C-alpha cells in the first residue's frame, strides 16, 4: 500500500473515531438531559457521592428544600456539618454498613438543617459501587423529604399520648411508663410511688362558668404541676378533673409527704381566669410499689380508693392506701349500686326533728332529715350514703325527692292550722349550684301549694369557700321570692365572722360541737356568745344544734339564743310520730 493510501486509511479512521466521540457525547448529553428531567419530575432527590474525591452531587430539589448552593454542600464534611447532632452517629453507621459490610441501606431517616436553621427529615435509600478490587469508589441513591409526614406522625403521637387541654402526658402514656418500670423491676429493683389527685367540685365550675373557663383552669393547674416536675417526678392528666403524679425511685413516706406539702402550697394560690378568682382544692390518694400492688391495674385501683378516702376526710387531704380501705371501698361500691335502686323503689323516708323557741319552749318548726330504709341492712345514715350520692350525681335526684316531700309535709302542717310552722330543708352545694335550681324550687312550691314562709333552705358554709360569688347570686335569687335561708353547721371548719356580713341569710345554726362542751370549755362559751351577739347585730336569728342537757338550754336562754334543736326535746321522728308530738 502506498503512502497516500495509508494516509487515507488513517484519515478515515480518525474521522470515524471523531464521529463516534461526537455521537457518544450527544448520547451522553441526551442521557444527562433525561436524568435531569427525571430528577426534576420525581419527588425524590437524586444524589451521587465520589468516595475518592470526597465530593457529593445532588439534584436541584435538594437545594430548593434546604436553601444551600451546590458549592456549599459539595464536600462530604459540609454534609456531615448539617446533620442533626443526635443523628450523626446513625448516618456514619449507615455509611459503614455500605462500605464495610456491603449492605444496601433503605428508608433510612435522619434530620438535616436548612440554611434557615430549621431541620428537615430525609428518608435515604443508598447503594455503594465497588471497583474490581472490591474497594468502594462511589455511593448513589435518593432522598425523600418526609418532613410533613413526620410532623403528622408527631401530631398523631401527641393526640395519642398527650392531653390536648393541658399538654401533659395522658393516661395511656402513664400506663405504658408504669408497665415498663414494673417489667424491668426484676432487673433494676425499681420502686416508685403514685399520687392520684382529684379536684374537688370541679364539675360546678364547668356547669356554672362554662367549659372554656374550666379548660383554662385545667391548663393553669397543668402548668403548676409541670413546674414541680423533674427527672424523677412526672405529672399526667388522667382525664376529667383527675391528675396523676409519678414519683420514681422512691416509696419513702417522708419524701412523698414533702412533695404533697409542696403540692398543697402550690395549689393553695388562687387562679385568676377571665376576671374570676378560683380557689381549687384537691383530694389525693397515694400508693407505693410494690407494697400496694404489683400491677398497673391494681395500683391505680388502690390509688383511686385512697383518693376517695381523702374526699371523705375533707379538702386538701391526702391518704396513703392501706388494706382496710379496700374493705371500705367494697362497702361503698355496694352503696353506690344500691342507691339507684333505692330511688326507684322509694326506700328513702324523711324524719323530722323539732326546732324549739328557747324562751317559751314552743315548737316553731322542724328540720327534715333523710333516712334510707334498706331492705336488708336496715336504716343507713346520711353520713354513709350522701357523700357517695354527691360523687355519683344521684344527689340531684335524691335532693329533688327531699324538697318535694318536705314541701308536701309543710303544706299539710299549714292545712292543720300551723300557719307559721316551717320545715327546714338541707340543700347540698351540688343542688344549689345547678343552673335551674331556683326555677325547680319555685315549680315545686307551685305544684305542692306550699307557702314560701313555711320553708327554710339550709346550706353549709363550705359552698362559700369555693364559690362565694356564685353561691351569693343563687341565694339572692331565692330571697327575691321571699324564701328564707339558714347557714348550717356554723363554726365547723371554715367559719369567718366577717364573711357572714356578705351572705343573704336569715338564720345562723351553731354547730353541735360548741354546745356539747359548753360547760367545760371556756373558749367554746366565748365563741358561742360572740356568734349570738354578732347575729343579733346583723339582724339574724340563731338556732343552736345538738342540745341534749338542761344546763345547755339554760345557758342558751341566759345569752338570748333564739331557737334550739336536739335530743332534749326529741330525736328525729317519722312524719306520723312527729305530728303526734306536736298535737
In a shared domain, residues 350 and 449: yes
In a shared domain, residues 461 and 556: yes
pTM over 0.75: no
pLDDT of 4 strictly over 70: no
**Tally of CB atoms within 10 A around 422:** 21
Decide which of 149, 180, 208 is a domain's last residue: 149
Domain of residue 98, CATH code: 3.30.450.20
Polymer length of the chain: 583
Report the pLDDT value the prediction gives residue 355, as an integer from 0 to 100: 98
pLDDT of 439 strictly over 90: yes
The answer to whether position 546 is within a domain reads yes
Strands of 233-239's sheet in order across: 233-239, 242-248, 192-199, 282-289, 317-320
Strand blocks (E) in 293-410: 317-320, 348-357, 363-374, 378-380
pLDDT of 14 strictly over 70: no
Decide which of 262, 288, 321 is a domain's last residue: 321
In a shared domain, residues 550 and 440: yes
In a shared domain, residues 138 and 192: no
Give CA separation, 298 vs 111, 256, 292, 295, 431, in Å: 42, 20, 8, 5, 34
The answer to whether position 136 is within a domain reads yes
The answer to whether position 5 is within a domain reads no
- The total of structural domains in the chain comes to 3
In a shared domain, residues 446 and 514: yes
In a shared domain, residues 100 and 209: no
Residues 221, 226, 232, 237: what is their CA dihedral angle, to the nearest 10 degrees?
A: 50
In a shared domain, residues 303 and 377: no
In a shared domain, residues 28 and 142: yes
pLDDT band at 31 (very low <50, low <70, confident <90, very high): very low
The per-residue pLDDT for range 411-420, each reduced to its tens digit, is 999 999 999 9
The per-residue pLDDT for range 479-524, each reduced to its tens digit, is 999 999 999 988 665 455 667 888 899 999 998 888 887 777 777 7
In a shared domain, residues 145 and 169: no
The answer to whether position 332 is within a domain reads no
Domain of residue 502, CATH code: 3.20.20.450
The per-residue pLDDT for range 109-155, each reduced to its tens digit, is 899 999 999 999 998 888 888 888 888 888 888 888 888 888 888 77
Whether the Cβ atoms of residue 39 and residue 64 lie closer than 8 Å to each other: no
Whether the Cβ atoms of residue 452 and residue 444 lie closer than 8 Å to each other: no
Report the pLDDT value the prediction gives residue 508, as an integer from 0 to 100: 93
The answer to whether position 493 is within a domain reads yes
The per-residue pLDDT for range 79-91, each reduced to its tens digit, is 889 999 999 888 8
In a shared domain, residues 410 and 540: yes
In a shared domain, residues 132 and 180: no
Decide which of 149, 183, 216 is a domain's last residue: 149
Query: Higher confidence at residue 160 or residue 505?
Result: 505
Rounded to the nearest integer, the mean pLDDT of the chain is: 86
The answer to whether position 2 is within a domain reads no
Report the pLDDT value the prediction gives residue 572, as an integer from 0 to 100: 95
pLDDT of 243 strictly over 60: yes
Domain of residue 297, CATH code: 3.30.70.270
Structural domain harbouring 212: 162-321
In a shared domain, residues 140 and 169: no
The answer to whether position 154 is within a domain reads no
Burial of 513 (0-12, 13-18, 19+ CB in 10 A): middle
Distance of alpha carbon 408 from alpha carbon 388, whole angstroms: 26
**Tally of CB atoms within 10 A around 567:** 12
The answer to whether position 74 is within a domain reads yes
End-to-end CA distance of the chain: 157
Amino acid at each position: 500500500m502506498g503512502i497516500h493510501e495509508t494516509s487515507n486509511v488513517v484519515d478515515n479512521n480518525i474521522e470515524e473515531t471523531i464521529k463516534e466521540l461526537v455521537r457518544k457525547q450527544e448520547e451522553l448529553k441526551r442521557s444527562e438531559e433525561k436524568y435531569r428531567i427525571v430528577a426534576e419530575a420525581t419527588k425524590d432527590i437524586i444524589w451521587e457521592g465520589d468516595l475518592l474525591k470526597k465530593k457529593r452531587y445532588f439534584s436541584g430539589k435538594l437545594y430548593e428544600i434546604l436553601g444551600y448552593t451546590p458549592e456549599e454542600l459539595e464536600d462530604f464534611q459540609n454534609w456531615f456539618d448539617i446533620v442533626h447532632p443526635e443523628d450523626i452517629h446513625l448516618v456514619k453507621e449507615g455509611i459503614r454498613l455500605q462500605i464495610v459490610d456491603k449492605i444496601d441501606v433503605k428508608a433510612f431517616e435522619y434530620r438535616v438543617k436548612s440554611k434557615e436553621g430549621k431541620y428537615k427529615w430525609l428518608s435515604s435509600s443508598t447503594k455503594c459501587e465497588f471497583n474490581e478490587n472490591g474497594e468502594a469508589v462511589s455511593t448513589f441513591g435518593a432522598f425523600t423529604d418526609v418532613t410533613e409526614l413526620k410532623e403528622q406522625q408527631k401530631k398523631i403521637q401527641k393526640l395519642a399520648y398527650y392531653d390536648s387541654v393541658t399538654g401533659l402526658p395522658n393516661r395511656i402514656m402513664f400506663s405504658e411508663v408504669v408497665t415498663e418500670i414494673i417489667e424491668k423491676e426484676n432487673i433494676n429493683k425499681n420502686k416508685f410511688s403514685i399520687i392520684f389527685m382529684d379536684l374537688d367540685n370541679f364539675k360546678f365550675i364547668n356547669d356554672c362558668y362554662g367549659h372554656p373557663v374550666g379548660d383554662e383552669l385545667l391548663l393553669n393547674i397543668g402548668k403548676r404541676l409541670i413546674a414541680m416536675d423533674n427527672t424523677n417526678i412526672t405529672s399526667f392528666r388522667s382525664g376529667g378533673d383527675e391528675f396523676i403524679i409519678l414519683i420514681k425511685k422512691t416509696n419513702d413516706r417522708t419524701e412523698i409527704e414533702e412533695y404533697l406539702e409542696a403540692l398543697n402550697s402550690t395549689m393553695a394560690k388562687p387562679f385568676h381566669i377571665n376576671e374570676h378568682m378560683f380557689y381549687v382544692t384537691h383530694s389525693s390518694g397515694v400508693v407505693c410499689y410494690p407494697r400496694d400492688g404489683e400491677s398497673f391495674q391494681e395500683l391505680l385501683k388502690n390509688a383511686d380508693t385512697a383518693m376517695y378516702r381523702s374526699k371523705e376526710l375533707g379538702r386538701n387531704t391526702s391518704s396513703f392506701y392501706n388494706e382496710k380501705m379496700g374493705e371500705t371501698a367494697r362497702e361503698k361500691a355496694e352503696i353506690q349500686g344500691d342507691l339507684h335502686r333505692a330511688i326507684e323503689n322509694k326506700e328513702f323516708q324523711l324524719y323530722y326533728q323539732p326546732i324549739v323557741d328557747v324562751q317559751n319552749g314552743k315548737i316553731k318548726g322542724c328540720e327534715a332529715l333523710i333516712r334510707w330504709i334498706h331492705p336488708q341492712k336496715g336504716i343507713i345514715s346520711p353520713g354513709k350514703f350522701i357523700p357517695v350520692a354527691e360523687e355519683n350525681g344521684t344527689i340531684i335526684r335524691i335532693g329533688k325527692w327531699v324538697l318535694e316531700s318536705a314541701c308536701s309535709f309543710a303544706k299539710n302542717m299549714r292545712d292543720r292550722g300551723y300557719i307559721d310552722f316551717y320545715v327546714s330543708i338541707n340543700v347540698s352545694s351540688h343542688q344549689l349550684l345547678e343552673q335551674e335550681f331556683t326555677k325547680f324550687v319555685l315549680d315545686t312550691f307551685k305544684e305542692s301549694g306550699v307557702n314560701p314562709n313555711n320553708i327554710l333552705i339550709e346550706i353549709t358554709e363550705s359552698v362559700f369557700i369555693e364559690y362565694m360569688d356564685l353561691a351569693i347570686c343563687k341565694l339572692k335569687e331565692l330571697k327575691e321570692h321571699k324564701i328564707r335561708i339558714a347557714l348550717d353547721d356554723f363554726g365547723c371548719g371554715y367559719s369567718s365572722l366577717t364573711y357572714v356580713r356578705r351572705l343573704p341569710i336569715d338564720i345562723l345554726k351553731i354547730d353541735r360541737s360548741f354546745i356539747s362542751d359548753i360547760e367545760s370549755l371556756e373558749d367554746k362559751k366565748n365563741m358561742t356568745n360572740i356568734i349570738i351577739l354578732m347575729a343579733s347585730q346583723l339582724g339574724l336569728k340563731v338556732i343552736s344544734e345538738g342540745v341534749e342537757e338542761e344546763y345547755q338550754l339554760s345557758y342558751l336562754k341566759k345569752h338570748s339564743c333564739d331557737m334550739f334543736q336536739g335530743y332534749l326535746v326529741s330525736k328525729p321522728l317519722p312524719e306520723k310520730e312527729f305530728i303526734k308530738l306536736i298535737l
